[in-house]
Structure 1
């Protein structure tokens, strides 16, 4: 975090990233003194409603964040910023996205939690577009031109007014992470999931202890659950009401319930009742302390791919344990008519021996398993996410036999294939992993 005083005193000369959160109502002209070096500009959390017409003077600007301000339209001046590749205007009051507002190098667009009803057709003319965050708007359709964005990998469409998924989505060769809960066409399935009977756990049965973590959708606490004269350590998730980058907390709650029981999924014990503030919550199995996140989330540079510690590496036994567990968990979810939507290393908890749990249903979406064509397409779309994960594991594995490495690389290639329906199913992936693990064990 920086201050206007530092900027005005010339103390920030040469910096590449500037963050100002100080109640700004106008764009500080002093920012232009950083034109020779500034690449990332974060003006989130202010009271701005416009940007200056000469913003392109910041010729090296690659990333701009103006979330939580007062913009009602995406500024057209952004389209004249030749180096700009990431645009983040989450939680404004944007209703208009003009064709001229889209920069030519656009790679990552964040319009989450606004009031956008329509996107310009020329969004499909952004060949570098890779990540599109549109949850929490009023979209009734998407421009068909997006079918031309062959690099598009992640789309968040949750909490809009869509009545169906556009068919061209399934022609995108690299689409990997999709979220669409909270739209009219998913409402019935979500309501049914929320009505699933779970054991009721009264707030008075819980002794709530320290905060374990805070995500966009809620708070997770360690607690002790008392029932039948026994006390069990548990985790309690209290859901917030705010929109997240992936969608609505209520939809995440429905997904957590619908996920059901599987050894490689975090387990739900019951639904919270009688909270003093009427807060929705779930009581979940406490994850042992020897589990930790497999990877870190994507960075600004990596865009859609996770970031691993530079010294992170795995034995063959560990990668087979992780891969087999996650493929099996994903297969289970799809059998329930649910895609995870965010199948990533940063949402996987592992131990040193490769025990693995797939967590975080914030981007999960439902579909009717009776619609066999849609079910097959969505499952194979998520198989590509598994392919990315497996590729990351193989790249960081030591001790694989040459043949096992070749065979795993072939499986990765099959999962990442551009032709959607040519990819294997999760069931086929599980079978192949069992075969390869057996071959590796024999060869070792």
Structure 2
């Protein structure tokens, strides 16, 4: 974190990146003195409403964060920054996205938790668009021009006002991660209430260390006090009413609807009577021998998970992980649940490859008997599995015989991909 004083002494600022949260109401012109070197600018948690025309002088800027400010309109001047590829305006007051505000190099656009009712048709003129975060707005439709964004891999449209799922969305050749719960057209799952998930009073819980966190919340090691004694558990507390994936209540519904499965982490109960009225889940504590398979995407990788350079997987573990995740996904899709975030960083594994898929924050419901939609939704998620399988095979040379299956899962023609039952059958045959 930097300060205004440091900004006035540019030599004290790390080259290439500036983070400044100081209650700003106007853009500090001193930032323009860094134009030759500044690539990443984070002005989140201020009170900005506009940017000056001089902002265009930041010719080398690649990434900007304006989260938690007071913008009502995405500034058009951003479109004049030739190298700008990642833009984030999460939790502002945006009602307008001008066509001129989108730079041609845009790869990652985050507009979560705003007031947008529409998007410009020119969004379809962004050939590099890969990640589009729109949850928590008031969108009533998506522009059909988005169908031209053939590199789009992840889109979040949960908690909007959409009355249907655009059919063209399910034909995009690279789309792998989709979340649409909390829209008028998306009804399903189990209603969340006292009768469907045990209520666990906050007074009966105690928090320990942080085990991990994602878009929707933070997971802690904890203890659950019961008449028989104290039991170790994991406690997930949601970060707020709106996450980048959607609403906490939709995650709760998905957890309930998923039911029990050996390769899923399901809830034991719902946190009740939290002093700050936070939503939360009590989950079984996975043994310490389990670790996340991969790290979440970086600013550079955008949609793909990250790994230490020396990461390797044994052949036995590779096959076991692939079978476990495929089995969990097959189980979900039989129940009409799109996980929406099928990623290595949401997959816990142990040294022998036992896998547990977690985090239903991006889950959505569909009718598995709807032959017009169900096959495409399942095969969209098969592509996400294909990316996970690619990560495994890349780090396990003896598993190269799985490459044809991985390629089948990621081929551009959505309906030509295998379903999860076919994937699972193939993996079982390889293991025989």
Give the TM-score normalised by the residue count of structure 2. Answer: 0.95
Asked if structure 2 preserves the Cα contact closer than 8 Å seen for 1:14 and 1:34, the reply is no
Equivalent residue number for residue 410 of structure 1: 404
Instruction: Say if 2:169 is the partner of 1:166.
Output: no
Task: State which drifts further: 207-216 or 153-162.
Answer: 207-216
Map 1:75-90 → 2, pairs under 5 A: 75-90=75-90
1:305-346 deviation line (CA, Å, top 9, x unaligned): 111111100111011011100000000111111011011111
The size of the alignment, in residue pairs, is 431
User: Bigger shift: 372-381 or 12-21?
Assistant: 12-21
> Corresponding residue for 1:208?
206
Q: Determine if contact 1:217/1:242 at 8 Å carries over to the other structure.
A: no
Asked if structure 2 preserves the Cα contact closer than 8 Å seen for 1:193 and 1:255, the reply is no
Q: Which residue of 1 aligns with 2:144?
A: 144
Say if 1:280 and 1:204 are closer, same or farther in 2 by CA, change over 3 A.
closer
Determine the C-alpha separation between the residues in 2 that align with 1:390 and 1:216. Answer: 23
1:240/1:249 contact within 8 Å kept: no
What is the CA–CA distance in structure 2 between the aligned matches of 1:435 and 1:341, rounded to whole Å? 27
Matched, 1:96 2:96: yes
CA separation of 1:22 and 1:346: change in aligned 2, threshold 3 A: same
Aligned partners of 1:208 and 1:221 also within 8 Å = no
- Secondary structure at the aligned position of 1:322 is classed as helix
- Tell me whether 52-61 or 386-395 shows the greater mean CA deviation: 52-61
Partner of 2:420: 426
Per the TM alignment, residue 198 of structure 1 is displaced from its structure 2 partner at its CA by 3.8
Deviation for aligned residue 1:189: 1.1
* 1:53 Cα deviation from its structure 2 partner: 0.5
Counterpart residue number, 1:333: 332
Shift of 1:274: 5.2
Q: Partner of 1:372: helix, strand, or coil?
A: coil
In the TM superposition, residue 380 of structure 1 has moved relative to its aligned partner by: 0.3
- The CA deviation at 1:254 is 1.2
Corresponding residue for residue 223 of structure 1: 222
Contact 2:382 2:419 in 1 (8 A): yes
2:48 counterpart residue number? 48
Moved over 6 A (4+): none
Worse-superposed segment, 102-111 or 270-279: 270-279
Of stretches 6-15 and 60-69 in structure 1, the one that deviates more from structure 2 is 6-15
- Match in the other structure for 1:106: 106
8 Å CA contact 1:14, 1:38 repeated in 2 = no
Match in the other structure for 2:393? 394
Q: Map 1:96-135; keep pairs closer than 5 Å.
A: 96-135=96-135
Change (3 A) 1:243 1:278: closer
SS of residue paired to 2:168: helix
Residue segments in structure 2 that go unaligned for 5+ positions in a row = none
Once the two structures are superposed, residues 123-165 of structure 1 have per-residue CA deviations (whole angstroms, 9 ceiling, x without a partner) of 0011111110000000000100000010000000001000111
Question: What's the TM-score, normalizing by structure 1?
Answer: 0.92
**Compared CA separation, residues 238 and 19, structure 1 to 2 (3 A):** closer
